[in-house]
Amino acid sequence: MQQHIDTYDFTGKKAIVRVDFNVPLDENFNITDDTRIRRAMPTLKKVLEKGGSLIIMSHLGRPKKVDPKFSLKHIVDHVSECLGVPVQFADDCQKADAQAAALKPGEVLLLENLRFYAEEEGKPRGLAEDATDEEKAAAKKAVKASQKEFVKKLASYADCYINDAFGTAHRAHGSTALIAEYFPNDKMFGYLMEGEIVAIDNVLKNAKRPFTAIIGGSKVSSKLAVLKNLLGKVDNLIIGGGMGYTFIKAQGGHIGMSLHEDELMPEALAILEEAKAKGVNISLSVATVCAQEFKNDTPTKVFDIYNIPEDWEGMDAADESLANWKKIILESKTILWNGPVGVFELPTFAKGTLQIAEDLAEATRNGAYTLVGGGDSVAAVTKMGYADKVSYVSTGGGAMLEAIEGKVLPGIAAIRGEE
Ligand code: AMP
């Protein structure tokens, strides 16, 4: 049975908490952005306040073996500073028995990078490039078998399990999902995870209408599942950014040198058809800011999106498109935004994405629920200073995208006890 961090009795108990401390480090191993550490603090502090002790576990980077570059020892001091208590370090996550057993209420132990072990991800490592299918299958079987022992060991350190790592919730890894089975009555979400789940439910399950999704970014291929799932849920679907040009070309438009995927044109037409059948209003860009070179300092011109000259490329949404979208956004009660509507990394072509951020902020002030989730739109609102002007900004890129695709996230299912 799933527990709740607010009502669970942590007195004298050891909590093993999966967090996402996968923070960026510079060449001297200084943390350059500690957002992920700070976002886990409410959960960690709550356990200590309620008389428990903490065994914190995370991954850092993508090591394929034990590699000091990816050691979590680099962040011990900062975690200690944020928590306001000393943090002990276990330099092997599989050999922390004595340190875990000695923990007293209020004490904290951070385990070394879980991904120093292949068992965390459950994927074989070091296979020869020319390995046969049989060899691959045998290696996979072996790592899956030893994964059980790996997870059992982690579970043996603690009395209860908390998952607060939304960034890895879409992975069925040892520490994010499999470990939950050792705590059938003592497993729960942390506050960060809970916040993300509420945000997802606010748009995908309990959306107030009209519900509008703004989907931008570079490629239709990477957002196909998102578009398909949203067609069954939204009233309006705004499609912007590089992916929009595939829809325009598929309908016979001339898009010049703009980004597009010819092989996705049938899918684009099928989406437009399905939207019509379902009564979903699709709003594509109508006018686009174009350039002849993919760089910041270059002359720009606005063209009708169906008539871009051959040697020009669509880089950003122009005013006419933005005005259409603003009207839709301000009439909506729930808005989900994923993906920039232009090449926002270049200031010359960031105007459209900035305007969407402003529109979302205005809609939020007017009482709409606004969620920014998945990838570059998160970076854009944060960089542009709008992160605290919308209802929620997701911390998990891939996890949020899979949630919007309608997939069950293993990290969430494991706590809820779903398959
Ligand atoms: P995604 O990761 O699929 O959300 O795509 C984000 C990327 O799409 C960003 O790096 C943007 O620069 C890029 N993008 C947005 N609009 C365009 C466009 N019109 N042409 C090329 N790239 C674009």
Instruction: Give per-residue pLDDT as tens, 272-302.
Output: 999 999 999 999 999 999 999 999 999 999 9
| Backbone phi and psi for residue 283, each to the nearest 5 degrees, phi listed first | -115, 110
The reply to whether 14-192 and 199-404 are identical in fold is yes
- How is domain 14-192 classified at the architecture level of CATH? 3-Layer(aba) Sandwich (3.40)
Give 350-397 pLDDT, tens digit per residue: 999 999 999 999 999 999 999 999 778 888 898 899 999 999 999 888
pLDDT digits (tens, 9 = 90+) for 110-120: 999 999 999 99
**Rounded distance from Cα 367 to ligand 1 centre (Å):** 29
| Arithmetic mean of pLDDT over the chain | 96
Ligand 1 interacting residues, C-beta cut-off 6 A: 217-219, 222, 241-242, 259, 314-315, 339-340, 342-345, 375-376
- C-alpha–C-alpha distance, residues 73 and 209, integer Å: 48
pLDDT above 90: residue 418: no
375 is catalytic: yes
pTM of the model: 0.91
- pLDDT tier for residue 419 given thresholds of 50, 70 and 90: low
Per-residue pLDDT band for 131 (boundaries 50, 70, 90) equals: very high
Look up 18 and say whether it is catalytic.
no
Ligand 1 centroid from CA 65, angstroms: 34
Among protein residues, the one whose CA lies closest to atom 1 of ligand 1:
217
Which residue has the least CA distance to atom 18 on ligand 1? Answer: 242
pLDDT in tens, 145-182: 999 999 999 999 999 999 999 999 999 999 999 999 99
Among the ranges given (11-15, 123-127, 241-245), the one the predictor scored with the smallest mean pLDDT:
123-127
Report pLDDT for 176: 97
Q: Which class in CATH covers the domain with range 199-404?
A: alpha beta
- Going from N- to C-terminal start, the domains of the chain cover 14-192, 199-404
